[in-house]
Copies of this chain bind each other. A is one copy, B any other.
Amino acid sequence: MSALDLPANRHCSVARSLELLGQKWNLLLLREAFFGRTRFAQFRRIGIPPATLGARLDALVDAGLMQRRQYRDPGERTREEYLLTDAGRDALSVLAALGSWGDAHRPLPDGPSIEYRTSDGTRAHLAFVDDDGRVLDRTDVHPQPTPAYTRR
């Protein structure tokens, strides 16, 4: 039984995201894709068994986070590579939130492992903001279930 079968989770967008993004390897594959890796052999570096890698890439394509594109190296057969879609790129804030938590609470001796920059080099980080774009004190932000979640 999936956790999504329960009322506590069925109406929850966190649980719905986790069903896909919470599957082992998927966020690490997205990380690699954000770093510009596109090919099966490149994705293998995260330590995923080849059969699992094929299944995960298929699932990410089916879910609309990646798309296939054919390529052909000189003297080789045609192969497929995997590119992020807009929906896949939208998962960047999930990676950034996980990375930021890790940097704060599982710090590495050499400092943060990933940084976020705009194309002109501006450093970026995640923050809670209000509807006018003002940064809020995140210790004063509280999640609340909406009627969509509590109505069953």
Q: Would you give the shortest CB distance from A130 to chain B, in whole angstroms?
A: 5
Binds B, one of A28-36, A54-62, A66-74, A75-83: A28-36
Is A3 a contact partner of B47 (Cβ separation < 8 A)? yes
CB-CB under 8 A from A142, the residues of chain B are 34, 116-119
Q: Would you give the shortest CB distance from A18 to chain B, in whole angstroms?
A: 6
If the complex has contacts A28-B14, A98-B18, A99-B14, are A35 and B145 also in contact, measured as CB distance less than 8 A? yes
**Residue of B whose beta carbon sits closest to that of A19:** B106
Any chain B CB within 8 A of the CB of A112?
Answer: yes
Q: Would you give the shortest CB distance from A106 to chain B, in whole angstroms?
A: 4
Q: Would you give the shortest CB distance from A4 to chain B, in whole angstroms?
A: 9
CB-CB under 8 A from A148, the residues of chain B are 108, 110-113
**Residue of B whose beta carbon sits closest to that of A100:** B93
Q: When A and B form their complex, which 7 residue pairs have the shortest distance between CB atoms, in order from nearest? A: A13-B102, A110-B148, A17-B102, A113-B149, A93-B97, A6-B47, A17-B98
